[in-house]
Amino acid sequence: MSLFPRICIVLLCLSYAHSVIAQNSKANEAASPEMARLAKMFVGDWDTVETMERGEFFPNGGRRHGTTHWKMGAGGTTLIGEGHSNGSAGELSYLIAIWWDKPASGYRFFTCFNDASSPCKVRGTARWEGDKFINDYEEPVNGEQRKFQDIFTQTNRNSRSLVAAMVMGDGKLKTLITTTSTRR
């Protein structure tokens, strides 16, 4: 093979490699400032530790250890998280999609859990309060709708916490689960 075809093959390979690298670098780009702020807090691979408080939902308390992976999807318009954990509180697998609803000026949550009776549903609306990302939602408890919040706080670039809490009758929050995530 002469020199010219070899140079063409090398240039073709370099061009292909460049396009793959460019495509991968854009995979986690956000399509809006609202999604960029979420991506900064979530995108990446994380180790998780969940601690369940003793109470109505977890009479003996409990813990789970696991992993989660967050990425931008649908052209940067959606944040997608998928995870799995297991421990004394039982096994948990989940998929979460969060997107910015521009007309409503808020974020929407869609969740799927390993619950055969009701695996997937739209679960709340979210907003920023300072550096905290808060999802408000309702769930039935003993036949009545109760308000809950998931409060995400980034402690530093490589760690964040999630407090899942129920809003009590007096308006105060009762912590049910605390999850600590550490970047892998």
Rounded to whole angstroms, how far apart are CA atoms 135 and 138?
A: 10
Which pLDDT does position 121 carry in this prediction? Answer: 93
95-117: average pLDDT: 94
CA-based nearest residue to 156, from 134, 129, 135, 182 = 182
% residues pLDDT > 70 (the chain): 85
**pLDDT digits over 2-18, tens only?**
654 444 344 343 344 34
Give Cα separations from 157 to 90, 100, 125, 154 (angstroms).
Answer: 29, 22, 25, 7
What DSSP character marks residue 59?
T
Q: What was the pLDDT predicted at 2?
A: 60
Mean pLDDT, range 24-29, rounded to an integer: 59
Specify the DSSP class assigned to residue 76.
G
- Amino acid type, 119: P
DSSP conformational letter for 53: P
**Cα–Cα–Cα angle for 161, 72, 182, nearest 5°?**
25
Per-residue pLDDT reduced to its tens digit, 140-176: 999 999 999 999 999 888 999 999 999 999 999 999 9
pLDDT surpassing 80 at residue 19 = no
The pLDDT confidence band at residue 1, using thresholds 50, 70 and 90, is: low
Pairing of strands 159-167, 120-129: unpaired
Cα separation, 94 vs 135, whole angstroms? 16
User: pLDDT digits over 67-102, tens only?
Assistant: 999 999 999 999 999 999 999 999 999 999 999 999
